[in-house]
Amino acid sequence: MANWKSFSALVAELLTLVKVVHFMGGMYIWEFLISLRFEYDVLTGKRKFRPSFLIYLGARLFPIVTLITCFVWQDANFRPHCQILASFAFVSSYVGGLFASALIILRIVAIWERNKIVIVITSVSWLANVGACIRCAATLRASWDETIQSCRVLDVVGTRYNVVFIFISDFVLLALMLTGLLRWDNRRKGGIWHLLFTQGLAWVAAFMLAEIPPLVLNFMNLNYAMDLIFQYPGLTIISIGSTRIYRGLSDHLVQTTAIIHSNKVGQTCPSAIGSFRARPVSTSDNLTTRPGDTQGVIDLIVHSARDRSDNVQKQVAVDGDEKV
């Protein structure tokens, strides 16, 4: 049986840790660059700016701070200030996770139609993560280790509380999101429901890949390197997953809005007694037969704004004596 506590095993796993961080860092940089068009469109006015975009930016930028810090930590040819590096690396990673969780919370609140109990549960869950982040910043200690010629966190096992808090919190959020979707009645299960449910399943997969391995290895406490080896990959998966889901839902809103505006115009047809506007027909499965039920959900999730379902219903209403 392998002796994980031996010096040779520690050195081998530290080298593996360096490779994992660099691989995941390169993957995140690639993902960041190929999706910059979204930010460009918002900042140049091609997409309308909404407050939730700031949360999205936080989920995108803080992992970059973590990445730069880890690269300096592992590749610097000088002796850095270990306490500052460790604090930046851990705190920025937790803050990035908080922003990613906030994106999911917006979705949950919208799915549950601003249910007060759900708002309380999600708020308490998110604030518990904030408390864990503050605890990490206050208790984290790191120093230079002459044996491995690198900075070393003195009590990696002490981060177990943070890992557990994050795991429980995200598990609760996942349960709320899927339960909220499953409770929708059949009349509302149109294109938007299928999109949200598919993205929910994708988030479950990301959750399992990102948070279960670090939790298990932290409790196993094999050695210093193995306690850390899956923490940065977990952050990368969560950040990429949450921001991709946000962009996907935003693109769906843009497409749906375009269809609604197209339907608003309708078709003007001459007749013997004058002109009338024909009943608009949806050209996409993204619109259901009851758009008022779904548009407000999309709007709240993407924009964190008030429910505008009534306005959408008015936009697709037929001008005349009869309503659609």
Residue type, 249: L
Does 288 fall in a domain? no
Does 274 fall in a domain? no
The whole-number pLDDT of residue 154 equals 81
Query: ∠56-59-64 over CA atoms, to 5°?
Result: 130
> How would residue 63 be classed by pLDDT, with cut points 50, 70 and 90?
very high
Among the residue ranges 26-30, 118-122, 166-170, 234-238, the one predicted with the least confidence is 166-170
Tell me the sheet residues that pair with 270: 275
State the Cα–Cα distance between residues 118 and 178, nearest whole angstrom. Answer: 13
The whole-number pLDDT of residue 27 equals 92
Tell me the sheet residues that pair with 150: 145
pLDDT digits (tens, 9 = 90+) for 182-238: 887 665 566 778 888 888 888 888 888 888 888 888 888 888 888 888 888 888 999
3 state SS of 40: helix
Does 301 fall in a domain? no
Does 121 fall in a domain? yes
Tell me the sheet residues that pair with 153: 142
Residue 55 has pLDDT above 90, yes or no: yes
What is the model's pTM?
A: 0.76
The whole-number pLDDT of residue 311 equals 43
Q: Is 277 left (phi over 0), alpha (psi -120 to 50) or beta?
A: beta
Consecutive H or E run containing 142: strand 142-145
> How would residue 309 be classed by pLDDT, with cut points 50, 70 and 90?
very low
Rounded mean pLDDT, 241-253: 87
> What is the residue range of 84's domain?
9-256
- Taking the CA atoms of residue 299, residue 304, residue 306 and residue 307 in that order, the dihedral angle to the nearest 10 degrees is 30
Query: What total of structural domains would you count in the chain?
Result: 1
Residue type, 153: V
Does 89 fall in a domain? yes
State the Cα–Cα distance between residues 128 and 307, nearest whole angstrom. Answer: 28
